[in-house]
Chain A
Amino acid sequence: MIVVKDLRKTFKLSRQQKRELKNTPGVRADGTVDAVAGISFTCQPGRIFSLIGPNGAGKTTALRMIATLLKPTSGSIEVAGIDAVKHPQDVRRRLGFLTGTTKLYDRLTPNEIVKYYADLHGMEKSVFEKRKDELFTLLDMNDFAKRRIGKLSTGMRQKVSIVRTIIHDPEIVVFDEPTVGLDVITAKNIIDLIRRCKQEGKTVIFSTHIMGEVSLLSDDTAIIHKGKLIFCGAYSEFAHQMQGRSIEEEFIRLIEGAPR
């Protein structure tokens, strides 16, 4: 489970950014801006939580704080019952993180990369071997397990990324725009993975701005805009109160109607 309470992340702008963003709403006189401005939500185990919003809304910053890559300015995050600010390493032991921009080491093979992350997670050899065999077979990866990443296609690489993310069987899985820039077939692998995680009872949170994925996967949804949540609840609730003809239209309506 992930419990986020009143989460805020304030960034200090560089001199150039201050010049460029002068008089922009949200930018304070002291040159600071809230990327995430006091958001709260809960992601339940066995359910998929989608965080949607336009570019620059604060999705990645929020997910990076959950994954303990960034420290919140204020607020709290609890991941699997652990305080993410006080015990970041313990949180990372229970978490898998996959982003669409994640790249792999070109000079290593899938076998080596997966083993590397298993070692970093302190997995026992026998447990690792069993889990690796299972995942490699499931994703049909045995044929290219010993080839260097640099020689693999985008689809093959994405499969390696998937295995790398879940090799340690994490309770919590965070996906930050995982299908961005991928072709339909490769994106399907990710969609299948997200569903599989749900079936296994994991807590899943994913960010996207592809509305089709939201309707396909979400149990719970939050819409983030300019660092604030303008909707947070069950997806069924969102679909029920929709005034637009499609999710896209409803999304745009909510964004445009949000206070500036």
Chain B
Amino acid sequence: MKTTFTVFKKELVDSLRDRRTLVAMVFVPLVLFPILISISSSMLISHEKKAEKRTLRIGLVTNGNAADFREMISARGDVRLTEGITAGEGRALVRADSLDAVFVFDPAFDEQVAALDAGKVSMYHKSTENAAIERRRARGLLDEFEKKLREKRFESLDLDLSIIETVDMGDENLASTKERLAEQIGGLLPYLIIIFCFTGSMYPAIDLAAGEKERGTLETLLTSPAGRMEILLGKFGVVGLTGILTALVSILGMYIGIRQSPEIPTEVLNAILGMLEFGSIVLLLSLLLPLAMFFAGILLSLSFFAKSFKEAQSIITPLMIFIIVPAFIGLMPGMSLNSTTALIPILNVTLATKAIIAGTIDPGMFVEVYVSLIVLAGLSLWVCRWVFGREGTIFRGV
């Protein structure tokens, strides 16, 4: 144990003095990450603000109808009206992004309304993610007009508008903001933590195994009285620890990024910060521990197998896809923790974290996830021990 700690201490100092480890462990999650969060949320908010304030470009083909509607939108300061176009021209202008929407009224619109029928009107728009706000605003104009027509119709029939309500439904969403947000963005937190945990372990694992082999320091270390398992456990501990530390620093980076982001609604901000509360973090950490050990075992096995630092990099980098895909699947709506998903590595951590954040984690499932991760971590250490014990691997290319 003493020897393992000696190796651990030395490897930790050595790793923390490595610029690449420091960049992956501190600079990216603590500096770059908050800046990225801040910039992207500022850009999103400023896009939304611009879209809300921007003058709406509306095409109008009334066919001699809906004078009230024309009057209503002409009076608005936030709408620029284009008239004297045909429906076909209107479509073309929307497609070319010259107009946000075109309203085409049926030639018999006024008659239909007068006959107490539904007046026909078409709205042409380009419904893409970017133009969602403009579409909502254009639709709002028509809704306002419809409301006025309805009021007029009820008045002419001497009816009270309230009779239209046949059911007085009380709609109360009992899901807390935290739960709703956990569903929407809760998956993002484990996704990022998993990626950071992996990338944080990557450089130390490559450096402490393939790097040492290439530099010839591993051979020297093996001539010391330290046993193979003692050496391996020391390295394993450092790789796992840097993974955990990187993940923790990324949580801190996320916290700083969110705090610095301008104009995030208070309700959302509080809910997000609530996700990072002490209890959730402790549970998250308990999952992170076996996950980081699992990563350490895999990374060190591959790194010991490689002849050089470069070869280890080229073997390990493509492995990222096996980390990203299951983590990403966990982000998909409808994916939840069950007895099967609890056994799939990485996906189980994403889903369990989502449930922890939402406060809906089932203790039985949590234990299943935890046990499966511990088994995997043990298995990866066993593989690593086997690789490290092989003469052919250790002296491969030496």
Contact = CB atoms under 8 A, between A and B. Distances in A.
Is chain B found bound to chain A in the same assembly? Answer: yes
Interface of A: 12, 64, 67-71, 89-90, 92-93, 95, 97, 99, 101-108, 112, 116-117, 119-122, 164
Contacts of B392: 12
Contact of A120 (B3, B215, B391): B3
B220 A97 contact: yes
A147 B382 CA distance: 38
Contacts of B2: 122
A70 B13 contact: no
Interface in B362-377: none
B14 A70 contact: no
B216 interface: yes
Nearest to A91: B225
B351 to A, nearest CB: 40
Contacts of B391: 70-71
B217 A69 contact: no
Contacts of B225: 89-90, 92-93, 120-122
Interface in B1-57: 2-3, 6-7, 10, 13-14, 17-18
A103 B215 contact: yes
B219 A120 contact: no
Given A70-B395, A90-B225, A105-B217, 7 more contacts: A69-B223, A102-B217, A105-B14, A116-B6, A121-B225, A122-B2, A122-B225
B13 A112 contact: yes
A171 B40 CA distance: 65
A93 B224 CA distance: 7
B222 interface: yes
Given A92-B225, A120-B224, A107 B17 contact: yes
B226 interface: yes
Contacts of A107: 13-14, 17-18
Interface of B is mostly: helix
Interface residues of B, number: 24
A103 B224 contact: no
Contacts of B226: 120
B227 A104 contact: no
The 9 closest A-B pairs by CB, nearest first: A97-B223, A107-B17, A120-B224, A103-B216, A119-B6, A103-B215, A92-B225, A93-B225, A116-B10
Nearest to B19: A107
Contacts of A106: 215
A253 B204 CA distance: 50
A46 to B, nearest CB: 22
Contact of B223 (A95, A108, A119): A95
A116 B216 CA distance: 16
A177 to B, nearest CB: 12
A117 B216 contact: no
Interface string B296-320: 0000000000000000000000000
Contacts of B221: 120
Interface string B218-256: 011111111100000000000000000000000000000
A108 B224 contact: no
A101 B223 CA distance: 14
Contacts of A95: 223
Nearest to A101: B216
Pick the most buried of B6, B224, B395: most chain A CB atoms within 10 A of its CB: B224
A103 B213 CA distance: 10
B222 A69 contact: yes
A90 B227 CA distance: 11
11 contacts: A69-B222, A70-B391, A71-B391, A102-B217, A102-B220, A103-B220, A105-B14, A107-B18, A108-B10, A120-B6, A120-B226
B371 to A, nearest CB: 34
A70 B396 CA distance: 13
A164 B10 CA distance: 15
Contacts of B14: 105, 107-108
B219 A164 contact: no
B237 to A, nearest CB: 16
Contact of A103 (B7, B13, B217, B222): B217
A117 B224 contact: yes
A99 B219 contact: yes
Contacts of A64: 395
A90 B13 CA distance: 28
A68 B14 CA distance: 26
Pick the most buried of B6, B217, B220, B223: most chain A CB atoms within 10 A of its CB: B223
Nearest to B18: A107
Contacts of B18: 107
Contacts of A93: 225
A108 B14 CA distance: 7
A131 B225 CA distance: 19
Nearest to A69: B222
B219 A121 contact: no
Contacts of B219: 69, 99, 101-102
A92 B223 contact: yes
B335 to A, nearest CB: 43
Contact of B217 (A12, A89, A104, A119): A104
Contacts of B10: 105, 108, 112, 116
A122 B220 CA distance: 16
